Chain A
Amino acid sequence: EAQVTQNPRYLITVTGKKLTVTCSQNMNHEYMSWYRQDPGLGLRQIYYSMNVEVTDKGDVPEGYKVSRKEKRNFPLILESPSPNQTSLYFCASSSEAGARWESPLHFGNGTRLTVT
């Protein structure tokens, strides 16, 4: 089954403790992206990757890192989490940056992160 898999689904951590949220897709998609979803703000893009070893900042990259060493994986790293990073995070992938209707974004089921 074609899917984007995120882990974990839920994560509670404390300020400053490094964490990684994993994302993997099995569709051989070149484009992958991370979003955070906050009430009243919709989805905001954190980082994206057009292909292996090619990553770039989205709208809200501060406090986050990513890597794309393999095509299928795109982990999101929070080196020193802070409470304002408490949010619902989504990983997404597509064959063409979601820019055509034939290649829409495929989303994971989300990771709810709480930083205390």
Chain B
Amino acid sequence: GEDVEQSLFLSVREGDSSVINCTYTDSSSTYLYWYKQEPGAGLQLLTYIFSNMDMKQDQRLTVLLNKKDKHLSLRIADTQTGDSAIYFCAEIPPLMNSGGYQKVTFGTGTKLQVIP
């Protein structure tokens, strides 16, 4: 199958903005998620966007969606050392495209390193 692609690594200085990019596979995906994985832990849902939205802002987080290019991005403003983690984008295809089962497909993950 096709992959949900992300760059593997991003390094930023504390206080700068971070932008993590993702290219997903199905332009009709209904939900797109960002999950955060802190060291030694499982993934936790960070934020989400519906496919009928172009942008969603939640405090320091801004999610941008370009459906035409199947491109999703996560911007973290004023990046802190506590933001160091691996970030996964994930897509949920429509029910009709997945044989009745809405499987969550994860990207390859982007490791964000925040330099003090």
Give the distance in Å from the alpha carbon of A97 to the alpha carbon of B102 in the complex.
Answer: 7
Main secondary structure on A side of the interface with B: loop
Question: Does A92 have its Cβ within 8 Å of any Cβ on chain B?
Answer: yes
Q: Which of A40-48, A61-69, A78-86 contacts B (4 or more CB under 8 A)?
A: A40-48
Residue numbers of A with Cβ under 8 A of B are 4, 35, 37, 40-43, 45, 48, 50, 56, 58-59, 90, 92, 96-101, 104-105, 107-110
The reply to whether B104 and A110 form a contact with Cβ atoms under 8 Å apart is no
Residue of B42, B92, B104, B107 ringed by the most chain A CB atoms within 10 A: B42
Give the distance in Å from the alpha carbon of A42 to the alpha carbon of B104 in the complex.
Answer: 12
Partner of A50, one of B6, B50, B101: B101
How close is A63's CB to chain B, nearest CB, in angstroms? 19
The reply to whether A110 and B41 form a contact with Cβ atoms under 8 Å apart is yes
A105 / chain B contacts, CB cutoff of 8 Å: 35, 43, 45, 104
B48 / chain A contacts, CB cutoff of 8 Å: 101, 104
